[in-house]
Structure 1
């Protein structure tokens, strides 16, 4: 019979603090078939003494077959599934935005007219996408504006536009979803979408600069290019569609 796999895990479990990485480490070990000797560090003094004894700076600490594996990220690496580099580019935030926007659009269309596949569903998809992207920018307008002025042609000449942009995008998206105040939403979407499209095209395809896109907020690692251009073309297309089918 194959020997059972065992691991020792030391983690902080205190009255006012339970280390989340310790909880995840225990779950990860059990997921991989390990029986866990779960050792709780219940005071700060006990934790400091344990770290000094084992020569580590942080807990949790996993030990397997007498070998110190380390904390949660080290454990992920041990099992062959390391976390991606925090500076690595990723399209996951954008995929999440468009997937949620599409799901909401299909759901609202089904709830209102009995079918998910309608013209209004397509309109809602664009307007919901605009509103969600604006919400992400509004989480930290300062960070967004700093990234945005790096490539937007108007924001580089008039910085207040960088602060106003997410509010304008949110306004246009919400009004377009409701098909309300078209006289306001259409010009706003055309204005910010056109300037944005020209700015992205110039920065990426003419100047050939490698920049991060502010489309999902100022902390994203989404490359500037196709995604941001698509966002702006969505706004332009929606505005033109509404003008033609108002």
Structure 2
């Protein structure tokens, strides 16, 4: 006989409570038959909470015992709290993983085989493009984080916008292999300053900062990953210039 659970959650034409959906899904994946009760207006939701003395919905019951909200359900099932805050490298790892797979597939399409050098070129260029787009989607937020550690941006804030444009633009032109003597020096300049800035802030001053490499407002800690981004840009710039000699 399956275990029984009941969920009271807000479901209106204008709002579907995401925690209610996640609670229902979690219960089903853990073998519960779910009796799903909809609170079909804001007024009904507030009335339900007031009547029973709850401060939130959804409210979950297992075998008629009140468990509480979604976080309480996760704890009850031994899942731990739903990760919402705290430092994470997931955004950067996602960028690098997707960029690497794009590089492999593009290299295969171009040559019908996998060249280590070409794959690395494309990987760095695609990474720069993706990271540039993440910064460009909210330049104000990116600049707010960037000025906390970049040596040039601290003295001239508009440089933060220049950095994002140079990173994305250099990546695009590097993929095509054009304008090397314009693109490479610009990328080398901004990445060198970036590397020095990160090294100074993290390893000399020991400051605990968030990285703006994936745009503003991220929980990626400033450190090795940020330094790696700049070192990759430096290496690609030097390589482009060396190929042109």
Unaligned runs of 5+ in 1: none
Which residue number corresponds to residue 228 of structure 1? 226
Which residue number corresponds to residue 48 of structure 1? 46
CA contact (8 A) 2:5 2:35 kept: yes
2: CA distance, partners of 1:109 / 1:145:
34
Aligned equivalent of 1:114, options 112, 115, 126: 112
Distance 1:101 1:245, change over 3 A: same
CA contact (8 A) 1:91 1:222 kept: yes
Q: Is 1:60 aligned to residue 51 of structure 2? A: no
Q: How many residues align structurally?
A: 243
What RMSD, in angstroms, separates the aligned Cα atoms of the two structures?
1.5
CA contact (8 A) 1:109 1:118 kept: no
Q: Is 1:98 aligned to residue 96 of structure 2? A: yes
Q: Deviations over 1:92-127 (max 9, x none)?
A: 111101000001000111111112344211101000
Worse-superposed segment, 149-158 or 19-28 = 19-28
2: CA distance, partners of 1:75 / 1:130:
41
Which residue number corresponds to residue 184 of structure 1? 182
2: CA distance, partners of 1:193 / 1:183:
16
Unaligned runs of 5+ in 2: none
- Three-state SS of the structure 2 residue aligned to 1:11 is strand
2: CA distance, partners of 1:175 / 1:243:
13
1: CA distance, partners of 2:82 / 2:91:
16
Q: Equivalent residues in 2 for 1:4-153 (5 A)?
A: 4-81=2-79, 82-84=81-83, 86=85, 88-153=86-151
Superposition deviation, residue 20 in structure 1: 2.6
- Three-state SS of the structure 1 residue aligned to 2:109 is helix
Superposition deviation, residue 85 in structure 1: 5.1
Q: Is 1:193 aligned to residue 173 of structure 2? A: no
Q: Deviations over 1:205-232 (max 9, x none)?
A: 1112121111111111111111111000
2: CA distance, partners of 1:42 / 1:152:
50
Superposition deviation, residue 6 in structure 1: 0.8
Worse-superposed segment, 64-73 or 126-135 = 64-73
